[in-house]
Amino acid sequence: MTVQLAKRLKSIKPSATLSLNAKAKALAAKGADVVSFATGEPDFDTPKHIKDAAIAALNAGFTKYTATGGIPELKAAICKKLQRENKLEFTPEQVLVSDGAKHSLYNLFQALLSPGDEVVIFAPYWVSYPDMVLLADGKPVLVETNEADGYAPDPGELRKALSPRTRAVVINSPCNPTGAVLSRAALSGVAEVLKGHDCLIVTDDIYERLLYVSTPFENLANVEPSLAPRTVVVNGFSKAFSMTGWRLGYAAGPKELISAMQMIQDQSTSNASSFSQKGALAALEGPTTALDEMVAEFKVRRDLIVAGLNKIPGIRCRNPEGAFYVFPNIEALIGRSYKGKPIGGSVQLSEILLEDFLVAAVPGEPFGAEGHLRFSFATSRANIEKGLERIGKLVAALS
């Protein structure tokens, strides 16, 4: 029999970040000396006090189903965190704990969208936003932002993209893939437009703690409190606490939406892992020394990679204010020839880099920004130096 897959799969594609990561890992498993800038995860271990809390939970037999939406103490701690760090008020019934921020976003779009409903997404965007919208039968509406403006959205362009079908606008600052942090002025520009349009605001704050600027983190609801009642904050433990494998994230927002998301979770995945939730509780309540050390090290690495990339002719790299990605412009390399064949775009450049120079970097195209490559600097300084040398060799080999 031929398996007939659901029609909705026709519009989506595999995650470019995860596939490149898998490809780099497979090459490394075969013994290749791959320098991977592909991974969107900290290379630091999960802090000990978090692991100890999960181990204690396991040893105490905390290994059963929990309430679908999360254990009450974790939901309460999330509310306290949102109050303390983000100056946002939520009650536990406005919080849903899921298997990662990715799962929270998936639940959100499933709960929100009817066929043809639109979601505004700023490009460059994280690869999964458009596909998650498509999986919910929604329509991603892309609004370009550019490097020259520090990737701040143009309010006029945003206004043009809004329609009566717009159900949500997604904001991700610090941004994956650009590392750009939206300033108060940039957020105010967006807020002014959204004040006049009745839609939800999804603020994906997963990189909020990874900042290399002294201005404290702010999201749209901080800048324009009147929008807070229709804002959903999405966040998780993966990036700030090096807990990518624990699969734990959350959403906080309007009660009706959170209940609908919880119903979807009830009928699909149930609760997030019981002992991961105990670890997350320790993460929120424990010391942040490990986080501070990690951010200080990321800053050194950012400076190293930005300076190194800018020394390579044909590559122009902006200094990101947050996250752990650089997103250099490689337009000057497109069209040049490698082994007698012209390079067609970022996908091809990424393939050559991996296959012939053993450097993994994600092409810009799946982030909605051709002419770029994304490098994660969540890897050692030694790897960054080795990778830069190899990229230099590739560029030197172009004619």
User: Among positive and negative, which fits the CA dihedral 89, 95, 97, 101?
Assistant: negative
The pair of three-digit structure tokens given for residue 50, joined into one six-digit string: 């978090």
Alpha helices in 226-288 (DSSP H): 255-266, 274-285
Q: Which residue is nearest to ligand PMP (CB)?
A: 100
As measured in angstroms, the least distance from the Cβ of 84 to ligand PMP is 21
Q: Write down the residue that tokens 């969107």 correspond to.
A: 40
* Count of residues in contact with ligand GLU, rule CB under 6 A: 9
Indicate left, alpha or beta for 335 from its phi (over 0: left) and psi (-120 to 50: alpha): left
Contact of 349 with 330, CB cutoff 8 Å: yes
**Residue 374 in contact with ligand PMP, rule: CB under 6 A:** no
Q: Does the protein bind ligand GLU through residue 102 (CB under 6 A)?
A: yes
DSSP 8-class letter at 127: T
12 scored as a contact of ligand GLU (CB under 6 A): no
Does residue 98 interact with ligand GLU by CB under 6 A?
no
Taking CB within 5 to 8 Å according to partner kind, which of ligand PMP, ligand GLU, none is near residue 236? ligand PMP
- In angstroms, what is the minimal distance from the CB of 390 to ligand PMP? 25
Residue from 17, 203, 242, 379 touching ligand GLU (CB under 6 A): that is 17
Q: How far is the CB of 376 from ligand GLU (least distance, A)?
A: 7
Q: Which of residues 227-266 bind ligand PMP (CB under 6 A)?
A: 236, 238, 244, 249
Query: In the stretch 139-178, what mask flags binding to ligand PMP with x, by CB under 6 A?
Result: ---------------------------------x---x--
- Is 235 in contact with 208 (CB distance < 8 Å)? yes
Binding of ligand PMP at residue 288 (CB under 6 A)? no
Q: Are 206 and 347 in contact (CB under 8 A)?
A: no
Helix (H) or strand (E) holding 76: helix 72-86
Q: Of 104, 176, 222, 262, which one interacts with ligand GLU (CB under 6 A)?
A: 176
Buried b (16+ CB within 10 A) or exposed e, 66-90: bebbbbeebbbbbbebbeeebebeb
Q: What does the alpha-carbon distance between residue 127 and residue 348 come to, in Å, rounded to a whole number?
A: 18
**Residues within the interface to ligand GLU (CB under 6 A):** 15, 17-18, 40, 102, 126-128, 176
For binding to ligand PMP (CB under 6 A), which residues are involved?
40, 100-102, 126, 172, 176, 204, 206, 236, 238, 244, 249
